[in-house]
Amino acid sequence: MSGNGAGDRVTLTIDGRQVSVPPGTTILQAAETVGTRVPHYCYHPGLSSPAQCRLCLVEVEGAPKLSPSCVTAVQEGQVVYTESERAKSMRQGVLEFYLANHPLDCPICDQSGECKLQDYVFAEGRKHGRSREPKRVFGRDDFGGDVLFYGDRCVMCTRCVRFMDEVAQDPLLTVVERGNRSIIDTFFEEGVEGSPYAGNIVDICPVGALVSKDFLHKARAWDLEHTPSVCPGCAQGCNIDLHTRDNAVHRLKPRLNPDVNGHWMCDYGRHRYEWMNRPDRLTEPRTGAPGEQRPVEWTGAIELAVQGLREALERGDGVLAIASPFASNEDLAQLRALVALLGDGEIVYRSPRAEEEIPLPGFERLSRRRDLAPNSGGADRLGMKRVGTDDASGGLEVARDHEGILVVVGDELTDLDEAFGERASCYLYLGSYPTAGAHSADAILPITTFAEQEGSFTNFEGRVQRFWPGLTPAGSSRPAWSVLGLLAASISHDEVAPTGTDQAFERFSRLVEDFIGLDFASIGTRGAKRDPALQGAEGG
């Protein structure tokens, strides 16, 4: 078929540039590979293409009319112009039709700043509208759940309808009426509140027709900083962006990763971000008698903790540690290293579990997992044991009355009282929030949450994914790996405290089988899974 010997590839020319893509690719996708973005509304890479927005029309040499690039497959030797006079004037005409009914309420619209209509009209639209007819008015409609619908702003791309049909496979939305009066609507009084993935229709709406009630009027799109991160809602580990402003997370948005979550994320994860902004934080290290711990400098706190650990070691006390599946791989591995130094005790963790999984039918890889912690995968692979019930309580009866060294990292101990750790010879509490469980601690050391530090999580299938800090750490809190590394280095001269997250990762990824071969720098924003082929090669 192809004359250029490139095998199964089709070569065409887009705006004077040669492009070689697999057959069956659409012109729009082919253009994207060379950096030409053809304007579009109804096309979305995760959905089918109805070619109804008529905005992606491009000129194809030899074709009598302009072709919708989102559904036209590439052909050998095709010559495409996306910026020709015909294509441009067509786009300008289409945009003018959109503005015949779209209100100019950008100042009060939440989409302003990330609105495709705003962008396209700014780039190519007419300066002044010529329509003298009154605009149609629908007002605002509550679609249920977190979704609010402003009918006037809708450009009828039907992305939301297709998402509910094809991906969520729960057709709760449809188009009613015809022509100029056509509008998206729910079925009678039933909204989208029943669908656990309905929040995605807000993300894919190219204009401000579907907006989030939670985010309504909260911040402007251009004020928000985006930090690549991993959703801490469950073991799936959806790739997300933290949208922050004034050192607070304002919303979570899914970040494209075809191997984990595609373009989507569930509403459960999306709306669980408030805890990242909790104001009641441990901000400084404290040491002292039970209930009377006073703020001290980090150096003093570490020295005191080390002294306590050394004395307990000399007495030959056993060690018991409680970890948290919300801590990063680096934190957990460093805890493991410390516990190994102190005499190889048990490390347990507690994690919440849901009743059942919530799968996304149209994207099989994605499911809200039963395991509601982001890093149980890491804890399990580092040899930690899950205890307690499905609401992350109980299971600490042994630890409560443990008489040796007790180290708690991250667990908030919400169900425990002030008697916890009373009998421990040395009790170190590393946490982010004040708790009654830390009442008897010899040292309370503040640590950062995942949103304030760099690190990695291991998801349910063993994929290691990195996240970056989006918030400033509260007070003088530090990442747990840094604190635990310092403690280990102060106890043993063979240990050297890691000075960066990459070092902390490298320490354990060399030793722990499930991480061998992974390189922190090359994990990147897409995550990496250990190559199963390596497993056999290094087995002997």
Partner 1 sequence: MAATVKVMRRPSEGSSSYLRATLKGMAITFKHMINPTKVTLEYPEERPEISPRWRGTHVMETHADGRPKCVACGLCPTVCPANCIRLVGGEDDMGNRYPIVYEIDEFRCIFCGMCQEVCPVEAIHVGVHFENSEYTRERFVYDLDRLMAQDHPSTLLWDPSDPVSE
DSSP H or E run through 100: helix 85-101
Site for partner 1 in 336-355 (CB under 8 A): none
Judged by beta carbon, residue 188 or residue 222, the one nearer partner 1 is 222
Under rule CB under 8 A, residue 417 binds partner 1: no
Minimum CB separation from partner 1 for residue 358, in Å?
31
Mask for 257-296, x = binds partner 1 (CB under 8 A): ----------------------------------------
What is the rounded distance in angstroms from the CA atom of residue 92 to the CA atom of residue 96? 6
Which residues are CB-contacts of 189 (< 8 A; sequence separation ≥ 6)?
none
Judged by beta carbon, residue 113 or residue 343, the one nearer partner 1 is 113
Minimum CB separation from partner 1 for residue 206, in Å?
20
Judged by beta carbon, residue 140 or residue 315, the one nearer partner 1 is 140
Minimum CB separation from partner 1 for residue 243, in Å?
15
Minimum CB separation from partner 1 for residue 121, in Å?
16
What is the rounded distance in angstroms from the CA atom of residue 193 to the CA atom of residue 523? 36
Minimum CB separation from partner 1 for residue 110, in Å?
9
Q: Quote the tokens at residue 31.
A: 């253009």
From residue 486, alpha-carbon distances to 30, 302, 476, 492, 495 in Å are 52, 8, 15, 10, 9
Look at residue 368 and give its three-state secondary structure: strand
DSSP state string for 494-518: T-----SHHHHHHHHHTTSGGGTT-
Judged by beta carbon, residue 41 or residue 143, the one nearer partner 1 is 143
Q: CB atoms < 10 A from the CB of 225, how many?
A: 12
Judged by beta carbon, residue 108 or residue 123, the one nearer partner 1 is 108
Judged by beta carbon, residue 79 or residue 108, the one nearer partner 1 is 108
Residue ranges with strand state E in 133-206: 140-142, 147-150, 173-176, 183-186
Sign of dihedral through CA atoms 502, 505, 507, 509?
negative
Q: Quote the tokens at residue 141.
A: 């409609």
Site for partner 1 in 106-165 (CB under 8 A): 106-108, 112, 140
Whether 406 contacts 399, CB under 8 Å: yes
What is the rounded distance in angstroms from the CA atom of residue 162 to the CA atom of residue 328? 37
Judged by beta carbon, residue 64 or residue 139, the one nearer partner 1 is 139
Mask for 201-240, x = binds partner 1 (CB under 8 A): ---------------xxxxx-xx-----------------
Strand partners, 249: 244
Q: Quote the tokens at residue 483.
A: 């604190």
Minimum CB separation from partner 1 for residue 277, in Å?
15
Minimum CB separation from partner 1 for residue 140, in Å?
7
Judged by beta carbon, residue 245 or residue 281, the one nearer partner 1 is 245
Minimum CB separation from partner 1 for residue 217, in Å?
4
First vs last C-alpha separation in the chain:
48
Size of the site for partner 1 (CB under 8 A): 12
Interacting residues toward partner 1 by CB under 8 A? 106-108, 112, 140, 216-220, 222-223
